[in-house]
Structure 1
């Protein structure tokens, strides 16, 4: 638009390269402008587009700002137009080649004149401030021929001086790249030319930069005109959100809500955050904090700070998210510990529970879609949740555990899970809890999650990362029970492993042991059964894996190898493997602070050397194991279980130095870091629906809220684990009926038909040695139990063997100081009871209400009491002949043995 100078008599237009100045906004300067122009033009009227050209200002009204790079002159803020007639002063015109003439400075010079430049000849040009933005020398004062001008004296006498050149102040020095260090550098024409070229280069580069940034900004604005454009930009251009995040954000906000989000993102004021923007912010931060920070920075911090997001995660009604009530409960525990001058040290356990894909409307919202605290609950386009990710806090120096939140998910990525863990750690730190351990299982997503937390478990087995808030060490535990199951599965599937000396660790030996026990009818004091070696339908049972590699199995294999039973040759490597795995699991499962048994007692400061020696030896053994191709198992395809045990051992040692040596705790119970706590929570949740293995999202939420109030819950016997600490269990009180000792009278034995008939059962089968060893072991247990029933010292002396020289094969192998060696008479009575039991059990269970009493009578009918406990022959003369201590002793021994065998028979399901 062409602008005209509105001063009367001036016809200057903007197209002539002359600056136009609008009326200033400052009221004082504006009034001075109006007064000056009104003095010249009495009919002056203020117009909306009123302009004054630069020809009405003097040279001293201009200056070059200090911040100007190209020496562009600007009008001073307090300048007032003062030139309204051509005779008032020289008129500024554009400087062109055709209009340039020579002004003889000698003829017009006056004492009032002062110049910045040294006059070096007769012909000079008088320079004034430039009016151009780009070139300082594009404008100059119009030059007049002195011969055509009025006489000098007339000029001097005039009130308004013909020419006035002000004395300019010294300009601040400009420094350019590598040139013009001082003012003297631009005194010569050549240096001034270089100065001008350098300034032009700087201006050119800055113009390019400005143009490039403007184009980038315009391109970005075009891309993010809609929320869909913004999401596409984050996924395709920046690549900082996953496909899952991409689809969830698009589905969680409809078109109308997306427009509201974009409008608020573009606002500069701190307006109230709408629910739509809140949903968008929580969703984006949940899936990618990096993308959230990028969007927040791009839109002038319109989105809330991440700390605000963490507060939004908390809920107060048990819906998905971090539960505010639980965090407050932890905070109360922190205050209680502070009153005792202690710190609350806790461990964090995370795990996922499968839920049934089902959508339920509860009257106010939909339940069943993915939800992580503030997700859209009314959208039916979101994927249905398949899992519930639960966070549980266990106190290491107290006796409580509490879930602090859960999220309904559908295949979370490792980074998304790491973001949630980080947020949980920050929330717990905000309430004062010190988190020292993080426990999870060996799923591939968890191993990848650890990498985002700062621990690479796939290559480096140093399981420690820094807390996001305190920067203190947090030690990672891969749940020992899960690792044990993976080790069992590896050996069971591969059948053979090798130790350091290439000895074979053979799965076949466990099968042979089960076959021997089933064929013999008696067990070598082990819990290994057919289901332990046929574990494929019960892979999740921790007890099966633990009992397979137990010390009792190692003892049984040692016994069989010592007896040279067929199929048990070269059992040494397998026995060694069982003992190492058993000791490692016991060490990672200590739960009694009063424990005294080696590997089962808590970790104390006094055990530093013993702990280091055991951990180093166990790690060395695991690292030496190889598969059939001589590949180390920790580098094989089935490495997770073995690496997990190493991680747990190293974390326990690191935790020892972190909190025991620093005297934050007196001891460590490693069971506190077990996932059993969260597995029992899952079992309790399932039990709310009648042991529903697959509760829906609505059922899970209802059970979760009830658990926050009712803490006393029973745990299913069929759960993956069983409670092993002092967790309160809800129980139903009942009156136990005490069974009377209703033994059949021994004097009535003859009244039973065929009572005295002897069967061939008294002859031993070929497995005599095996059965005899097992019966000896059971007889020792019977002797230990019946000692509680006698106050008579003479009777107590005859049931145990005080002769240490006698050899008991199985008892000696299994004895670690707590087994009882029975006397010969007790062993004989137990052997008679075993024969009666095996011959009568099938018919007795179906025909007698009290099978134990009946079998006791049969045992009594097959013995001659004069041949047992002969040392009591004189002792019984002081007692009743039909109820003396000898008869009571024989009946009690028989009853206890038969009770043990009947329980075993029923548990095995032999009937």
Structure 2
């Protein structure tokens, strides 16, 4: 109590009777109540027994501002409330995500407000005292649509130290404020970090492989439950680190070896010998092909799994007994597809989470659980109980949360059959997209100051319309969500792994079979078109020749065949062109070509024919 009196000696009454006689709380007392509750909820509950402090969930009004100041943005909540009241079903359910951003600890003078800035501000006002600490982090909260790709930045808070308990309290306040305007929060997402795990535990989440508790109650003691997710990109990085740390992970009769990945990235551009076919040479002749490795390929992808399989078929000693690594990479790739569903136009595991594909996804989750709980290191110790367990536990928790959402929000009667979940809303990608836009607005490569952050946030908030956006859309140079997905996973590519080891080049690789799957392609110009963007001009030429050859093999019309290889533009006539649709059908296997004199642009085949006559076409 003496500390409180020293900090708020002129504002906080010392006697209980004085508290009860006050008509309203002063700004200083509001600030005291908010800070005490967010940092020490138990102390706040204790003082409520002595002083007439408000209920914790009524503090959301004190943590809100009409302008783009620290705290919850009232304007955003008013816009969301208007959409709910108009009956827009896409805004009735959402996911909530939280992330912290580093700031420069620097105080600045605000000429408009006539005060110093850069101090801790939780929305109830900037601390005004000599002992007030400078803010070192900004906590940002965002709501994201789970069936429609809309995003809403709910607010930010300047703090000098972020704890899991503080994040949990802010999440509770945001959930209460969203519930008050008619929006139901179904999930919360944080980073797969120590702070994220601390936040999960503070909310009541249990991350134990033998007994996972994937939901928490809000308000505490109520029947309403909310699921918890860890960011998939963070979890993948942890799993990559675990594999690199252990080097070898045992799984039943197979083993996952990091060395297989190292050997794969070493194949920057190698040669392999293959016996030529009877058409191209004698039975004993040899032909040389290039092994091209695209270093932009994600580590956990089907392309890497296919490449390892084909390298094993080549008979290379370095890739023998890599079946366990292939299974592991392919399993992780399929899990990533599930947790990154972006739109209803996609199919399979990459599509939205629907009632129709639940059985297939559930089987995948069961397979992953059986796989993760049996992984051991070279000493026989379970990985799921080691210091490198958080990445695996994150996927197990996410799987349980997704299954819980299906059971409770997609199976019950009365749920619209069109309801589906865009699982990318359970990652931090939408919030990372907003943070990248914020950084570009700040025009700073490093951490911004509080004043720069606030000015950039105000500018972005003014242009926020809460309308659903396409994952591929990009305005004013801002990255799209697909770009963010690729950018956040740069640390998980083969190129980043190769940069760690810097293997020697020029090693000779021999084998009996050509490698032609994934990003391991023939050493031809057409192969380079898919692997090396620096050879763009040559790639376009060779690709045009390849397409033209495929067309010519199925063409029945002599006029069309002649026009296809005609290089003189003056001789081309519209009625001699093929429709693009029929041309595509030919390349994909259809042989019923017909002529059409109305719908094809002559420049399409002109470009093809000109490319064919270039010296490097074949």
Find 1:579's aligned residue among 302, 327, 330. 330
What residue ranges of structure 1 are gaps of 5+ in the alignment? 1-223, 232-249, 530-543, 714-722, 733-764, 774-808, 820-826, 836-840, 861-868, 900-911
Bigger Rg over Cα: 1
Superposition map of 1:241-640 within 5 A:
253=7, 255-257=9-11, 260-262=12-14, 266-299=18-51, 301=52, 303-337=53-87, 344-363=92-111, 364-458=114-208, 460-468=211-219, 471-501=223-253, 503-520=254-271, 527-528=294-295, 547-596=298-347, 598-640=348-390
Displacement of 1:468 in angstroms is 1.0
- Please give the per-residue CA displacement for 1:88-115, whole angstroms capped at 9, x wherever unaligned: xxxxxxxxxxxxxxxxxxxxxxxxxxxx
- Matches of 1:677 and 1:896, distance apart in 2: 47
Displacement of 1:661 in angstroms is 0.7
Aligned twin of 1:779: none
Aligned twin of 1:55: none
What residue ranges of structure 2 are gaps of 5+ in the alignment? 273-288, 479-506, 546-551, 573-604
- Please give the per-residue CA displacement for 1:373-408, whole angstroms capped at 9, x wherever unaligned: 114443242222111111100122333111111111
- Matches of 1:307 and 1:851, distance apart in 2: 59
- Matches of 1:265 and 1:659, distance apart in 2: 49
**Contact map agreement 1:349 1:391 (CA 8 A) in 2:** yes
Aligned twin of 1:245: none
- Matches of 1:638 and 1:317, distance apart in 2: 43
Aligned twin of 1:689: 442
**Contact map agreement 2:232 2:336 (CA 8 A) in 1:** yes
- Please give the per-residue CA displacement for 1:478-526, whole angstroms capped at 9, x wherever unaligned: 111110111111112322211122x221111112112223334987675
* Secondary structure, counterpart of 1:407 in structure 2: strand
Displacement of 1:689 in angstroms is 2.2
Displacement of 1:265 in angstroms is 6.6
- Over 3 Å counting, the alpha-carbon distance change for 1:569 and 1:474 in structure 2 is same
Find 1:729's aligned residue among 475, 484, 491. 475
- Over 3 Å counting, the alpha-carbon distance change for 1:834 and 1:700 in structure 2 is closer
* Secondary structure, counterpart of 1:262 in structure 2: coil
* Secondary structure, counterpart of 1:548 in structure 2: coil
* Number of aligned residue pairs: 520
Cα RMSD between the aligned structures? 4.1
Displacement of 1:277 in angstroms is 2.1
Displacement of 1:264 in angstroms is 7.6
* Secondary structure, counterpart of 1:465 in structure 2: strand
**Contact map agreement 2:353 2:420 (CA 8 A) in 1:** yes
* Secondary structure, counterpart of 2:267 in structure 1: helix
Aligned twin of 1:653: 403
* Secondary structure, counterpart of 1:693 in structure 2: coil
- Over 3 Å counting, the alpha-carbon distance change for 1:627 and 1:337 in structure 2 is farther
* Secondary structure, counterpart of 2:380 in structure 1: coil
Superposition map of 1:35-46 within 5 A:
none
- Matches of 1:347 and 1:707, distance apart in 2: 21
TM-score by length of 2: 0.74
Displacement of 1:577 in angstroms is 0.6
* Secondary structure, counterpart of 1:688 in structure 2: helix
**Contact map agreement 1:327 1:404 (CA 8 A) in 2:** yes
Displacement of 1:451 in angstroms is 2.1
Displacement of 1:602 in angstroms is 1.8
**Contact map agreement 1:392 1:405 (CA 8 A) in 2:** yes
Displacement of 1:326 in angstroms is 1.4
- Matches of 1:356 and 1:766, distance apart in 2: 51
TM-score by length of 1: 0.52
* Secondary structure, counterpart of 1:667 in structure 2: coil
**Structure with the greater relative contact order (CA < 8 A, sep ≥ 6): 1 or 2?**
2
For the pair 1:892 / 2:598, whether they are aligned, the reply is no
- Matches of 1:898 and 1:298, distance apart in 2: 86
For the pair 1:810 / 2:562, whether they are aligned, the reply is no
Aligned twin of 2:286: none
